[in-house]
Amino acid sequence: MTAAADLASSYELVVIGGGPAGLAAASLAARAGVSTALFDENPGVGGQIYRAITSTPVKDRAVLGEDYWDGAALADEAKASGALIVNGATVWSLDRQRLVGVSIGGKARVIEAGRVIIATGSQERPFPIPGWTLPGVMTVGAAQTVLKAQGLVVCERTVLAGSGPLLWLLAAQTLRAGGKIDAILDTTPRRNWLQAAVHLPDFALSPYFAKGLALLREVRARVPVHRVDRIEAVGADRVREVVFSSAGGTRRLPVDLLLLHQGVVPNVNLANAAGVTHVWNDRQLCFVPVLDADFGSSVPGIAVAGDGAGIAGGTAAAERGRIAAIAAVRALKPDAVVPDTQAIRQRLQREEMGRAFLDWLNRPADGFRMPEGETIACRCEEVTAQQVRETARMGCEGPNQMKAFLRCGMGPCQGRLCGLTVTELIAEERKATPDEVGYYRLRPPVKPITLAELASLPISEAERKAVER
Amino acid sequence: MVRTADVVVIGGGIHGCSTALHLALRGLKPILIEKDYAGRHASGVNAGGVRQLARDLQEIPLSISSMDIWECIEALVGDDCGFEAHGTVLVAESEAELAGFRERVDDLNLRGFGHEELIDAAELRRLVPAVSDRCPGGVVSRRDGAADPFRTTQAFRRRAVEKGAEVVEGVTVTGLFRSGANWRVETSAGVFEAPKVVNAAGAWADRIAAMLGEPVPLAVVAPMLMVTSRLPAFIKPVVILRGRKLSFKQLGNGTVVIGGGHLATPWRDSNETVLDWQKLAVSARTVWELFPAMHAATVVRAWAGIEAYMPDGIPVVGRSSTSEGVFHQFGFSTHGFQLGPGTGAVMAELVATGSTNTPIDGLGIERFLKK
Amino acid sequence: MFKRLAEKGPAIAITVDGKTVNAHAGDTVAAALLAAGIDHCRTTPVTGAPRAPYCLMGVCFDCLVTVDGVGSRQGCLIPVREGMKVETQLGRREAGR
């Protein structure tokens, strides 16, 4: 177990995040002879898609599916590569000088990096419906996390709601594991098919097409699916029932667990705080970093690979990590032998094929992204959609000004669960584009650290002299 | 198209907005030009301290006239600006330090200023129960307090507009020329003309001064701040230190703002700052020693606002030495927030009437210009 | 809400607000709380509303708990250890207690 004190003061390459992109990048770079450290805040490597790949108690391979087990090779390869892989290591700061602030076991260090690859992946898109803060309302990704890492499977009265491939995958995995799902509330707007249909030929050629169809069939055979356009979680101290409506009327179901999901979006916090330029991607309805062909960002020496570069899935993430790592190796050690990027780029292209279809099909409806009234937009500071809308109408032009008025985005999650909502609400009220409105300017530490952790940073020579004097 | 006004104010910080408001209140028509948006830099992201305590003698008159405005800020701008007056306490960390404070307070008293008051260990403990018990006393300024900086700057901006000022944001001044009786202000969005100009451009004010042949040795600085998540209420006054760099205050919402002047690296052309965690760690250690219970508090955000620091640590307030009709109001050297309301009033008086009764003689730009 | 599959790691005992909870190796604090059927892990500092883990991937900060005396720890990122003391976090109660 690597402690903060064991870290070198600098590494040629620091990779942040141990999902497919980070693992592939670290192992490629380390094999090419680059001193590489990979920091990951989770107890084990794998990221979200291959979570707990080295430790999962779910031994029946059919439950999680063969795609999950693909991650084992990546983890093995990284372990054997010579890269230093540190789990339980939270990176809380990265700046344009490539100083990396990291905490391990309550002790902090600031490490110099020759190059940095941010591979912090994606997070689930905020799903601000009435009652989404109640205990018993969780994300689909959360249920999948405990299934993979702890072998916990949902039971009793469980309803899944939303859209996107992960929702159907978790449903299938739950059923295979012997869990029970009472209903799926499908929020995919019907008209999405019109925009998606033109991309169907590409999707039909992608590896996800057959898998996706099989998954849908598997789940639909055993779980009732309702198409809905409004969902509310109801209860006082916890969720007691879910109320949903469609053109056909309103229905209620008693629930113990309501699992929400409407796709994933890049986890932008670290890149944003490092000064990386982002732009709005209207197809994926999120901010994505501006990157070159090698996934290099606007900040010299900092690349963003994996789903953090725009959503494309786990296999694509690994290929992106490799491309970013090759660029890093070439910059650090021009004579090192690296794989041919052409072959990797071709594989990446095949993976990304069909993405347009999935993006357009699963684009969440406006009402599920831009709530109204008392629905909470900012969970940490409990700021409602109405407050955000009213403040925007009063003249507040952007999320950074909004922070000062309402404190939205100022809590511990630092805007991760409200940033997109607040941007889109302001844009809607002010009849501007999300790009014009912009996003929170994020400030380090991007993960809260205690004062004691900060105080534990090694005392610099200058400070020691000042005290002695 | 040339747009005209009575006064062009350059810079939308607390000073520019306050001056614009006070000009409008005097019946003049100001246009304020701001390169980003009002309160984007130091005025919006400073520690919010409203402090008369421990000020340079030259600034005390401006500070006192500002305090009179702070105490009825809502009547002026229509917003209480989050201002709460629980005093500022300068904590002595040793008997020797306390002796120095005693000399300062005695000197102020002789000069007729009574706002700083020496306190013993018992009064210190009463005001700041959480402070470490090795501190022997300190100085308090009881009318001092803290306000919400962005909200304050925005309130001045809003009221200025209500009173007839025009605020133009996202526009950069590119040139400043004499044009008959007027000043011609060239910008990224056209030309503005007015007989009077106020340079309140903060960390960028030296560029405006240079256009007038008044090069000033302005340092661009970015004092760092950090804030914790919400804690139970445990301290009311703002606490500052002399020997070590620290300012410390708990806001009404429970968060604790920690500052004190450790500097980040600023890039004023790209509006960026890079924090120095080694120095923030020094702040963390200082806080831990002074308030032992704080060690488990979590820091949720750290930042730095870009501003101007003058070599002598006090601002430039007064007429241009070269250009009739131009006035300077910048260089507040990391303690300008409290001075905003009063300095704006004084500046408006100076611009409108040609003179002011508030003594500002020591603050002129001449002091930096080669004889 | 959740049940454990048959395959699980060795038992590990932690306390939650003084009561013993049986967790298993490989659990995070948040997972152990969910498996034990605990309804909420904190109340918010703004309105005092109850909250339970929401995302379990380090993003939402709703699983904040006090672990061995240190407040505002992300329960979903911390593996359980024998004898670990977990406390639900009430409002602003994270320091200076």
Taken in order of first residue, the domains within chain C and their CATH numbers are 11-90 (3.10.20.440)
- Domain of A290 in residue numbering reads as 9-123+266-338
Evaluate whether residue A465 is within a structural domain.
no
Question: Is A467 part of a structural domain of the chain?
Answer: no
Q: Which residues of B touch C93 (CB under 8 A)?
A: 232
* CB-CB under 8 Å, A41 with C77: yes
B296 contacts in chain C (CB < 8 Å): 69-71, 94-96
Pair B306, A126: CB distance under 8 Å: no
Q: Taken in order B35, A411, C30, C72, is the CA torsion positive or negative?
A: positive
Segment holding A36, helix H or strand E: strand A36-40
A468 lies in some domain: no
What is the nearest CA distance from A233 to chain C, expressed in angstroms?
14
The amino acid present at B17, given as its one-letter code, is C
Could B44 and A454 be called an inter-chain contact, meaning their C-beta atoms sit closer than 8 Å?
no
Residue for token pair 């937009």: A377
User: pLDDT of A128-151, one tens digit each?
Assistant: 999 999 999 999 999 999 999 999
CATH entry 3.40.640.10 includes domain B88-142? no
What separation in angstroms does the CA of A424 have from each of A38, A230, A419, B362, C45? Answer: 34, 19, 9, 50, 26
Q: Are A153 and A176 in contact (CB under 8 A)?
A: no
Rounded to 10 degrees, what is the CA torsion of B31, B32, B38, B39? -140
Contact A145 C57 (CB under 8 A): yes
β-partners of residue A303 are A117, A296
pLDDT in tens, chain B (371 residues): 899 999 999 999 999 999 999 999 999 999 999 999 999 999 999 999 999 999 999 999 999 999 999 999 999 999 999 999 999 999 999 999 999 999 999 999 999 999 999 999 999 999 999 998 899 999 999 999 999 999 999 999 999 999 999 999 999 999 999 999 999 999 999 999 999 999 999 999 999 999 999 999 999 999 999 999 888 899 999 999 998 999 999 998 899 999 999 999 999 999 999 999 999 999 999 999 999 888 889 999 999 999 999 999 999 999 999 999 999 999 999 999 999 999 999 999 999 999 999 999 999 999 998 75
Print the SS3 string covering B231-285: CCCCCCCEEEECCCCCEEEECCCCCEEEECCCECEEECCCCEEECCHHHHHHHHH
pLDDT confidence of A270, banded at 50, 70, 90?
A: very high
Do the Cβ atoms of C95 and B295 come within 8 Å?
Answer: yes
Write out the two tokens for A33. Answer: 């002879």
Q: Is pLDDT above 50 for C95?
A: no
- Least Cα distance to C29 among C70, C57, C55, C67 occurs for C67
A13 and A95 within one domain = yes
Taking the alpha carbons at both ends of chain B, their separation in whole angstroms is: 40
Q: Name the residue among B150, B201, B174 with its Cα closest to residue B307.
A: B201
- Check CB contact of B288 with chain C, cutoff 8 Å: no
Instruction: Return the pLDDT at A466.
Output: 61
Q: Which tokens in the block code for residue B51?
A: 């402090």
Dist CA B114 CA B134 (whole Å):
27
- Asked whether residue A127 carries a pLDDT value surpassing 80, the answer given is yes
- Which among C37, B356, B324 has a CA at the least distance from the CA of A156? C37
Residue from B301, B303, B306 to probe the interface with A (highest A Cβ count within 10 Å): B301
Would residue A364 count as lying in a domain?
Answer: no
| A412 found inside a domain | yes
Quick one: which of B150, B210, B207 has its CA closest to B12? B150
Write the CATH number of the domain with boundaries B223-304: 3.30.9.10
**Could you tell me if B209 and B365 are in contact, meaning their C-beta atoms sit under 8 angstroms apart?**
yes
**Distance of alpha carbon B279 from alpha carbon C80, whole angstroms:** 34
* pLDDT 10s digits, A177-186: 999 999 999 9
The beta-carbon neighbor of B288 closest among A407, A411, A455 is A455
Same domain for A248 and A158?
yes
A413 and C59: CB-CB below 8 Å? Answer: yes
Candidates B272, B294, B299; nearest CB to A449? B299
Residues of chain A contacting residue C46, judged by C-beta atoms under 8 Å apart: 381-382
Write down the pLDDT at residue A354.
85
The verdict on A67 touching C (C-beta cutoff 8 Å) is: no
Taking residue A176's Cβ as centre, other Cβ atoms within 10 Å add up to 16
Q: Which CATH homologous superfamily contains domain B2-68+149-215+312-368?
A: FAD/NAD(P)-binding domain (3.50.50.60)
Do the first three CATH levels of B2-68+149-215+312-368 and B88-142 match, i.e. the same topology? no
Task: Encode B79-97: b = buried (16+ Cβ within 10 Å), e = exposed.
Answer: bebbbebbbbbbbbbeeeb
| C6: closest CA of chain A, how far (Å) | 8
Mean pLDDT of A393-411: 92
Size of interface A-B (CB pairs under 8 A): 87
User: Which C positions 20-79 lie with beta carbon below 8 A of chain A?
Assistant: 24, 26-28, 31, 34-35, 39-40, 44, 46-47, 49-62, 64, 70, 72, 76-77, 79
Residue B329 and residue A440 in contact, taking contact as beta carbons nearer than 8 Å = no
| Span A350-355, average pLDDT | 88
Of the pLDDT bands very low, low, confident and very high (cuts 50, 70, 90), residue A465 is low
